């Protein structure tokens, strides 16, 4: 069906971009909560800012392909910011 085709594309995209997919057992998401508060909060903020920028130029609808593009862009910006923090930490 359509859903399995979309998942196959997503899996292929993940493999091509060295994205590691994780599955966690039910009722164990509390283990990842520290990441949600730290790393993922920054990533979510960058993604939200990108969505808001799209809306400011009149783009009020995004499709599944757009979501992957926006996520990729946000992740790259996140990694750049993280690299700057590491560099500044080494300097100071």
Which residue range forms the structural domain that includes residue 65?
A: 27-91
Among 45-49, 68-72, 86-90, where is mean pLDDT lowest?
86-90
Would 86 be classed as within a structural domain? Answer: yes
Tally of domains in the chain: 1
Task: Output the six-digit token pair for 27.
Answer: 């009722």
What does the mean pLDDT of the chain come to?
84
Give the C-alpha separation, 32 to 24, whole Å: 9
Would 76 be classed as within a structural domain? Answer: yes
Whether pLDDT at 1 is above 60: no
By the 8 A CB rule, do 77 and 49 touch? no
Structure confidence at residue 81 as a pLDDT band (50, 70, 90): confident
By the 8 A CB rule, do 14 and 21 touch? yes
Q: Helix or strand or coil: residue 20?
A: coil
């Amino acid at each position: 069906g359509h859903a399995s085709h979309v998942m196959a594309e997503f899996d292929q995209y993940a493999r091509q971009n060295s994205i590691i997919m994780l599955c966690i057992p039910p009722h164990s998401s509390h283990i990842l909560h520290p990441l949600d508060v730290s790393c993922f909060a920054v990533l979510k903020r960058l993604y939200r800012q990108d969505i808001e920028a799209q809306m400011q130029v009149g783009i009020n609808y995004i499709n599944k392909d757009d979501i992957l593009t926006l996520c990729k862009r946000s992740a790259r910006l996140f990694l750049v910011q993280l690299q700057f923090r590491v560099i500044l930490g080494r300097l100071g």
